[in-house]
Chains A and B, each alone.
Chain A
Amino acid sequence: MIDVRMAELDDIDTRVLDLLKSKIGREREIAMDSNVVEDTGLDSVSVMDFVMELEDEFDISVPLDEIAEVRTVSDLAGVVRRLTAAGASV
């Protein structure tokens, strides 16, 4: 059970990273510790637009004030993970 859960969480990291990669195109290399603005070339509005894609992909609601705290791809995946888990436990 626990293994399945861990696999799901790792999977969220990968899915978030892959979605972001396909949003920004091939020219830039990004990883989990990349900064979602500085390392992606996206402006703050495009990051918010990307969050709408994540909301649809994971069927969650991500409040704007949570996005304001996000620095890295890993932070963003962390928000998704937490909200996905919260949704599942309701």
Chain B
Amino acid sequence: MGIKNRAAAMQSAYSALKALGRDPTSLQFDRIVSPTEALLGNKPIMLFGTNNYLGLTFDEACVEATVAAAREHGVGTTGSRIANGTYELHRALEQEIAQFYDKRATILYSTGFLANLGVISGLADKGDHLLIDADSHASIYDACKMSDGETIRFRHNNPDDLAKRLARFEGTPGDKIIVVEGIYSMLGDSAPLAEIAAVKREAGPNVYLLVDEAHSLGVMGETGRGKCQEAGVEDDCDYIVGTFSKSVGTTGGFCVSNVEEFEALRAYSRPYMFTASMTPPTVATARAAFQRMAEAPELRERLWQNCHRLYAGMAKMGYRLGPEVSPVVAPQLPDPQTAVTLWNMLIDAGLYTNIAIPPATPNALSLLRVSVSAGHDDGQVSAALEIFAEAGKELGLLKPGNIAA
């Protein structure tokens, strides 16, 4: 209890890690040069920790559309759509996303975090139940806290465990809303959606499924709609949430749905009603990015080639990775100190990755999150692998025999 106590507890938890080199919570890039390169001071560094899966942040069409929208419509909306009105641009993006998913309606939110807060808290009312995967993102946990419904966790990616927990509610009134993610951001593993959808179908008509495709939009599925598309269960996914902050390259979020009552959320979902709407430039970027995704499926192919190469290369060296090839490659390290030490060594060698340590990680794992982009060229992937091999050897993480990258 108390502001000072809380800050002091945080400081003591992290000071030992900061003492190992840089402060992982406040690394500053002095210039971003491209989707995959930046300057730290005046030293070039390769970016392998961006979620910039399709490398669209510097895409010419996206940049041009963004700049043009700022000139034409101004740089901000200065309020929510409820207060300041909807712009034609908001409506156009909502329609384009609904068409892209072949669903009835889309609601835009100003970030993906807000989309989860607004949709999940808005759907589950008193007497309803949320069943969430134990490894859910912070925005899903916070949404559950905001909701008047009750929340139960089920074991990560375990459809049988979900079924067992649903069965405990048999005969209780109220709706049940299952919440999962397409790709989990920490280990890069994806949800067994076909099995989860089957559990949902068997559980009856008042059971709904919400899938957060934050890391799978633009990445999985024949046209990039995400894991629901890849698993062939889009009709079972009642609500799909997404963000524009990863493959789409800007900020913003959305939910798309066929459920008839879906758009009622606009009148009571507070994270929709009481925060400024997406700005004209961010809407324009998102529209251009969806168009690029449709025109350039080779970006997705390129991304997966890079994923396979990086995953296979690191696995061969002896790094312990997540269970499947994914745009998030996550070497598991023995403890937070080793993770932070390796992270610092990689930066010294010109490679930026994300650090992920408890309590932000499942099962108290200490990880680096290496995110792959379609923007990485072969040379960058090779260089990243070499740096990982060298640093892993130096830290004694890898057996010398394994390191033929």
Contact = CB atoms under 8 A, between A and B. Distances in A.
A48 B359 CA distance: 12
A52 B155 contact: yes
A59 interface: yes
B359 A61 contact: no
Contacts of B89: none
Contacts of A51: 153
Given A45-B364, A48-B134, A49-B134, A64 B153 contact: yes
Contact of B150 (A43, A44, A56, A63): A63
Binding site of A, secondary structure by majority: helix, strand, loop or mixed?
Answer: helix
Contact of A65 (B134, B150, B154, B164): B150
Nearest to B152: A61
Size bin of chain A's contact surface? 10 to 19
Interface string A47-67: 011011001100111111100
Binding site of B, secondary structure by majority: helix, strand, loop or mixed?
Answer: mixed
Contact of A48 (B153, B164, B364): B153
B364 A46 contact: yes
Given A43-B358, A45-B362, A52-B134, A63 B151 contact: yes
B6 interface: no
Interface string B123-143: 000000100001000000000
A21 to B, nearest CB: 19
B134 A61 contact: no
Contacts of B381: none
Interface in B343-378: 358-359, 362, 364
Interface residues of B, number: 18
A55 to B, nearest CB: 7
A37 B151 CA distance: 21
Nearest to A62: B152
Given A55-B165, A59-B168, A61-B165, A45 B152 contact: no
B201 to A, nearest CB: 21
A63 B126 CA distance: 12
A14 to B, nearest CB: 23
B362 A63 contact: no
B359 A52 contact: no
Contacts of A45: 358-359, 362, 364
B120 to A, nearest CB: 13
Nearest to B171: A90
A46 B155 CA distance: 12
B144 A64 contact: yes
B147 to A, nearest CB: 10
A65 B168 contact: no
Interface of A: 43-46, 48-49, 51-52, 55-56, 59-65
Given A59-B168, A64-B145, 13 more contacts: A49-B134, A51-B153, A52-B134, A52-B154, A60-B168, A61-B129, A61-B168, A62-B152, A63-B152, A64-B144, A64-B151, A65-B145, A65-B150
27 contacts: A43-B364, A44-B359, A45-B358, A45-B359, A45-B362, A45-B364, A48-B153, A49-B134, A51-B153, A52-B153, A52-B154, A55-B152, A55-B165, A56-B164, A59-B168, A60-B168, A61-B129, A61-B165, A62-B152, A63-B150, A63-B151, A64-B144, A64-B150, A64-B152, A64-B153, A65-B145, A65-B150
